[in-house]
Chain A
Amino acid sequence: MTEQPSGEEREIKVLGGAAIDGAPLAYVVVLAAVVAGLAFIPLSAVIGSGKSFPMSQAIFPLIGWILGPVAGASANAIGALIGVLVAPHTTTVPAATILGAFMGGFGAGAMAGGGSRRRWWLVVGVVGLLAYAAYAGRAVLQNGVGVVAVILGSFIDWSALLLYLLPTRKMAARWIGGQDLGKLTAGLFLGTWMVAGLTHLVSSTIVYYVLNWPAPVWAAMAPVAPIEHAVRCVVGTVIGAGVIAGLRAIGLVKAKFAAY
C-alpha cells in the first residue's frame, strides 16, 4: 500500500458469527449438504453385501482440509448421517459410514495441524493402528484367513496407514498448502489415498465385525480394492483441485484451521 489513509486503522474482529472450531457454520452446513448429496451416487459395490460405497467418500478428506479437523469431521459426520437416512442404498452399516466420515474429516484436518495441534495426527495414527489390528486380527486369528490374503486384501488400508504415519503425511499437507498447482494435485491424490484409506479401514473394521464376510472375499478384494481406491482418489483430486483453486481465486475467507 503506497498511500496512507487519513482515518485511524481499526482492529478487525469477527463478532458473533456462529462457527465450529473457527469454521463459519455456514461452511459446515453447505459442505455437509454436499456430502449428503453425494451419498446418493454409488462409487463402487461393497463385495458380499449387495450395497455400495457412496461417492461422498472421495471428498471426506477434502472437507477436512477445507474446514480443519473438528469442523471437517462434523460436516462429514452430519452429511453422512443425513446420507444414511436419505440414501440407504450406499450404506452397508450406518455406524460404519458415519464413523468413517468423521475419521476422514478429522484425519485430513489433523495432517496440517501446527502449534498445540501438531500431534493430533498421532490420535488418528493410533486409532488406525488399533483398527487395523482388530480388522486383520479377526481375519487371521478368529476366522483363519491366510495372512497373505489379508495383507493383499487390505493393501489400501495398511498402505494408507503407513503413509499417514511416515513424513509423507507432512509432505502431502505441504503440497496442498502450496501454490504450485502440480504439487497441489499430487498432494490431493496422496492425501486422499491416506485419509480415504483410513476412512475405509475404520468403516471396514466395523462392517467386518457386523457381517463377518467369508474368507474368499479377501481374495476377491485384493485386485479390486486398489483400483476402486484409485478411482476414489482421482475423484477426490479432480474435485479438490477445482474447489481449492476456486476458493483461492474468489478469496473467500478461509476457515481458521484450513490446510489449503
Chain B
Amino acid sequence: MDPILVLDKVSYQYPRSPQLVLRDISLQVGRGEFLGLIGPTGAGKSTLCLALNGIVPQFYGGRFFGRVAVAGLDSLEHPVSEMARHVGSVFQDPETQLISTSVENEIAFALENLCVPSEEIKARIPRVLAAVRLEGMERKHPHELSGGQKQRLAIAAALAMQPDLLVLDEPTSQLDPLGAQEVFAVVHELNRELGMTIVMASHAAEEMAEHADRVALLSAGRLVRIGTPAEVYGHPELLEERTLRPPQVARTFYLMQQRGVLVRDIPVRLRPALDALDTLSRDCRIDPPTTQQPPTQSGGALLSIRNLEYVYPDGTEALRDVSLDVGRGEYVLIVGQNGAGKTTLVKHFLGLLQPTSGTVAVGGTDVRQLSVSELARSIGYVAQNPNDQIFNSTVGDEVAFALRNLRCPLNEVEERTLAGLQAMGLVEQRHQHPLSLPQGDRTRIVIAAILAMRPEVLILDEPTTGQDFQGARFILDISRRLHQTGKTILVITHHLYLMPDYAGRVIVMGKGTILLDAPIRTAYHQVDLLRSTFLDPPQAVLLARHLSERVGQDIPLLTPREVADCVVCDSPEVQAP
C-alpha cells in the first residue's frame, strides 16, 4: 500500500480538557482508498478529521503527541494553509462553509487566497463543478441551492485545491435523504473514478458499508478496530456495546445467528443479504409472526385541517388541498422530501403561519381565534435547528425562560426546570453555556424547555438530525414516554429506520400534498411511493418485501428482529452463504 496518510501514535488533549480526546492512534490510508470513520458522539472523529490538516493542534493549541503526515508533510511542521493544498475538508453543516455570493466565487475563494493564477482558477471551476454534478450553476447564489447541492459545492471548493486527500466530517448528517444520496454518489464517483483518497466520518451505517473500503471504529479516543466493512459491521455486538447501529441487514442476520441459524458470514450490504435470504428461504421455513396494526384513536380530533392551502409571499405554493385529523393521544410520523410541506404544515398548528385558504383547528377552535402564545402553552414545537431557539447564556436559564415569562411562581419554575433537565439528562450541564455543548445536546436543551411547559401536543421537527444513534433513541424514548401519558406526538424525520418502535401512523407528503396517510406497517411497505419522494425504506422492510415475493404472501415486517424471528430453520446444518 502506498500510504498518503500516516498517523503514528497520535494523542491529543484540548487546552481546557482534563483528558485526551485522541489516544495512541496509529493507522495508514493508501492512495485511492476510502476509509470510513465511525464511533459514538465524543469518540474523537471530528478531532481526528481536524488533525489531518493541522487545524488540531495549530489552531486550538493543547497538547499533541505523535505524528500526522499527509503526502509526507508533517502536520506540525507546515502551516494549515500549506496543508490545505493537500487536504480538502468538508464539514457537517454546509451553511457554515459557504461565504461567497456565487457558486464560482465560492470555488475561486481558496484558490485566490493561495495566489493561483486567474487563468488556472477559471480552468478548474468547470472541472470541479462537473465532478460534483453542479454544471450550469456557476452564477447561482449558494443560498439558492438545496442542502445536498450546498454540500456538493463545499466538496467542489475543496476539490478545486486538487488535494491528495478529501476529509468529510459527517457531511450528510444535516441533509435530507436526497441530499445525502447525492453526496454519497459524488464521493463514491470521486473515489472510484478519479482515485481520490477519502476519509469520511459518518453515522450512516448502510451507506458506509456500501461505499467504504475499510472502516475504523473509534471509541473514547481509541482506535478499537479497523478493517473491511464486513470485518467491522459484521460484528454488531461490537458496535452495539458502543451504542452504535450496524446496518439493518447485519443486525438481522446477527439476530438469526443468535437464534441458532448458522450464518457463516454476516452480510453487511443489501445485495448479499438478499442472496443469503434466498438461500435461507429455500432451506428454512418462513413463519411470519402475526402483526397488529395500532388501535385507531377513538377520541375526537385534537388537530384538524380542512382544505388547507398555503402560498408563501414569494408565490411558492407550499401546501394545497390538505385535509387531516390528528386524534388526541396519537403518535404520528410525517415524512417526505425537503420542500414537501411538512414544516409548513405543522407551523399552521402553532399559528406561525396563517392559511391562504382552508381552516386549521386546535381542540375544535380555529387557530385564527388563538394567539401564538396561547397556542404555545398547549403545543410544544422543537424546530429543525436548535440554534434558532437558544439565546440564553446557561442551559438552566434556557429551560426556565418561557416559564419565567409566563410569570410562574419561582418554586414552580425551579421544579419544572429541574424536571425538564432531568428528563433530558442535562442536570450536570445546567450551568454551562448552551453553545459549548454539541449540536445533539442543544436539541435536548430545546426539548427540555418545551417539556417544562408541559404541552398537550409535542411537535418534533427533525429531532434526530445531527444525533448519533443513542442520542436519537434517547429523544424518541422521551417522546414515547410522553405519548404513554396521553400526549399527542407529531414527529418529522427522514430516519425511517428509527420510527417503527414509536409511531403508529405515517403521513407521507410530497409537493405540498398528502400522498399517503396509513398505519406504519402499511406505509413502510409502499416502497415505490416512498422512493418516489426520495425516501429509502429501512433495509429490514426491503428484506421483508423480498421474503413476501419469495413466499407469495404479504409479510408486513418492520424491524430486523421481526425479520429474524420469522426465519425458522429446523435443520441445524442450514447455512446462509
Contact = CB atoms under 8 A, between A and B. Distances in A.
Contacts of B80: 15-17
Given A5-B23, A251-B16, A14 B433 contact: no
Contact of A6 (B15, B24, B61, B81): B24
A245 B65 contact: no
B79 A1 contact: no
Interface in B66-89: 66-67, 76-82
B435 A8 contact: no
Interface stretch (B3-11, B301-309, B498-506, B555-563): B3-11
A251 B393 contact: no
A234 B10 CA distance: 47
Given A1-B19, A13-B58, A7 B11 contact: yes
A122 to B, nearest CB: 32
Contact of B65 (A2, A5, A17, A248): A5
A245 B9 CA distance: 35
Contacts of B54: 15
B373 interface: no
B522 to A, nearest CB: 46
A27 to B, nearest CB: 12
B435 A246 contact: yes
A38 interface: no
A214 B14 CA distance: 59
Nearest to B58: A14
Residues of A in contact with B, size category: 20 to 34
Contacts of A15: 54, 58, 77-80
Given A15-B80, A249-B432, A9 B16 contact: no
A166 interface: no
B9 A5 contact: yes
Contacts of B67: 7, 10
A35 to B, nearest CB: 19
A1 B15 CA distance: 12
Contacts of B11: 5-7
Contact of B20 (A3, A10, A12, A241): A3
B66 A16 contact: no
Given A5-B11, A17-B79, A251-B16, A12 B57 contact: yes
A224 B54 CA distance: 53
Contacts of A248: 433
B13 interface: yes
B435 A1 contact: no
A9 B13 contact: no
Nearest to B66: A7
Contact of A17 (B18, B20, B58, B66): B58
A17 B80 CA distance: 8
A7 B8 contact: yes
Scoring A3, A8, A12 by chain B CB atoms within 10 A of each residue's CB, the highest score goes to A12
Given A1-B19, A3-B20, A246-B435, A8 B66 contact: yes
A9 B10 CA distance: 9
B9 A10 contact: no
Contacts, number: 90
Nearest to A245: B393
B64 interface: yes
Contacts of B65: 5-10
A16 B79 contact: yes
Scoring A5, A8, A11, A246 by chain B CB atoms within 10 A of each residue's CB, the highest score goes to A5
Contacts of B436: 249-251
Given A7-B8, A7-B24, A16 B61 contact: no
B300 interface: no
Contacts of A8: 9, 65-66
Contacts of B435: 246, 249-250
Interface in A246-260: 246, 248-251, 253
A48 interface: no
Contacts of A7: 8-11, 24, 65-67
B433 A9 contact: no
Interface string A135-158: 000000000000000000000000
Interface string B418-445: 0000000000000011011000000000
B308 to A, nearest CB: 39
B63 interface: yes
A241 B392 CA distance: 11
A242 interface: yes
Interface in A215-260: 241-242, 245-246, 248-251, 253
A156 B81 CA distance: 46
A45 B291 CA distance: 73
Interface in A97-137: none
B62 interface: yes
Scoring B15, B78, B436 by chain A CB atoms within 10 A of each residue's CB, the highest score goes to B436
B393 A16 contact: no
A129 to B, nearest CB: 38
Given A181-B393, A242-B393, A250-B433, 8 more contacts: A6-B24, A6-B65, A7-B9, A7-B10, A7-B65, A9-B63, A12-B76, A249-B433
Q: Which 10 A-B pairs have the closest CB atoms?
A: A16-B79, A7-B66, A7-B9, A249-B433, A5-B11, A249-B436, A7-B65, A15-B79, A5-B65, A12-B57
Interface of B: 8-11, 13-16, 18-20, 23-24, 54, 57-67, 76-82, 393, 432-433, 435-436
